[in-house]
Structure 1
């Protein structure tokens, strides 16, 4: 009967071979763990269980949010005089315009947010509403011209003058308290909708979002 006994050098070689063969699996497991961690960091709300952090992430993805658009129709007129006043012309124009009202969400930070854990309520202090530059749709403009003889130069001058006047008038109309009030209400509704869903998905349940602008009274506790 013979008994095979590994000598110490042979045993060490086998152990080294086992470590070498197992190394790729160890590296695979490590890489899988790193990938899982990176995926968690990429897709899970920053701040983990912090509703304020989740809210700020939602705002960062929006940056600027258009909350309301007003369709306006300025009616303007301009006059032109040439040849020492002997040739006069006049043009009345109706130029449709759109004005957008938006929120600059890049200004939102933790100082504008307050979370009530017991009532699951988030209070949001909104930045000032931004009224955009009127976007004139001159392709749909309507013109009425008066004059015995309207030269090409006179017509171009009248159109430029009416465009300038229409933009000024649209800007004034956009500041109408009724339109601004509608835009502010739309902004609050948009913020409530844009925050309630991310907070619910993040696991905070049925959340109440109170949004208000500076100068408006805070909601009653």
Structure 2
């Protein structure tokens, strides 16, 4: 009887050790998974929800941290240019040609965000309002879509040189007219409003996600008086 108990005990002990070793082996992968999930959750919280207490300006500046320039408005329109070419001998015009062109042009309005330092942000804690002062818009050089232009040429005979000169003069004229049109008060007003809306949207959502709630964002340009 004692021998049977001794044999049974000897058999059970290795089996228990194997089960304990197997249990530890099965637990290790789950611990690794739990640690990885916790690390991912912490990194996500740190990236999207963490903010220093009482520093909404810092959170707002993060929205512009990686953007040096922001295109807020694009205007596409057509400009008309007209040039005349005269060619002759000994001061006598023998060949006269004229060309009119309708050329599509695109102009972009951009904000330079590299100057957006802390002094341009003001936080009012009593009514959860962020006031931002942005720099004046920068207008890009007109981009002429000469491949899509329409031309109308008059002349008995238009030489290759005359045609090239007419096209070149029309391009210069179109670029100048497009740059002038880009500064049209009505177009500029649309671009300025688009800039304010873009900045407001770029700040309101990150501030809300950062835990500041439904924040009011007021935007104005350098030199522009504060409403009220």
Q: Evaluate the alpha carbon distance shift between residue 32 and residue 190 of structure 1 in structure 2; reply closer, same or farther with a 3 A threshold.
A: closer
| Cα distance in 2 between the residues matched to 1:118 and 1:40 | 27
Shift of 1:63: 2.6
Larger radius of gyration: 2
Determine which of 102, 109, 118 is the counterpart of 1:110: 118
1:65 is matched with which residue? 70
Instruction: Give the Cα separation in 2 of the matches to 1:150 and 1:46.
Output: 69
**Which ranges of structure 1 fall in alignment gaps of 5 or more residues?**
1-23
Q: From the superposition, tell whether residues 189 and 30 of structure 1 become closer, same or farther in structure 2 (CA, over 3 Å).
A: closer
Q: Which residue of 2 aligns with 1:197?
A: 205
- CA deviations over 1:63-88 (Å, ceiling 9, x no partner): 31111111221111111122332111
Looking at structure 1, the residues matched to 107 and 180 of structure 2 have their Cα atoms a distance apart, in angstroms, of 11
> Which whole-Å CA distance do the structure 1 matches of 2:219 and 2:50 have between them?
21
Deviations 1:163-189, CA, capped at 9 Å, x for gaps: 111001100111111111111111111
1:174, 1:55 → 2: CA distance?
A: 31
User: 1:30 & 1:133 partners in 2: Cα distance?
Assistant: 54
- Map residues 87-106 of structure 1 onto 2, 5 A cutoff: 87-106=95-114
Shift in Å, 1:48:
5.8
Q: Is the 8 A contact 1:113 1:122 kept in 2?
A: yes
- What is the CA–CA distance in structure 2 between the aligned matches of 1:45 and 1:156, rounded to whole Å? 62
Corresponding residue to 2:83 among 51, 72, 78: 78
Runs of 4+ in 1 over 3 A off after TM superposition: 28-49
SS at match of 1:168: helix
Aligned to 1:149: 157
1:42 deviates by 4.6
User: Residues 46 and 152 from structure 1, CA distance in 2 versus in 1: closer, same or farther, beyond 3 angstroms?
Assistant: farther
- CA deviation string 1:110-148 (max 9, x = no partner): 100000011000000011111111111112111010110
Q: How many residue pairs get matched? A: 204
Matches within 5 A, 1:103-142: 103-142=111-150
Report the CA distance between 1:51 and its aligned residue: 1.1
Pick one of 163, 178, 190 that aligns with 1:182.
190
Q: What secondary structure sits across from 1:59 in the alignment?
A: coil
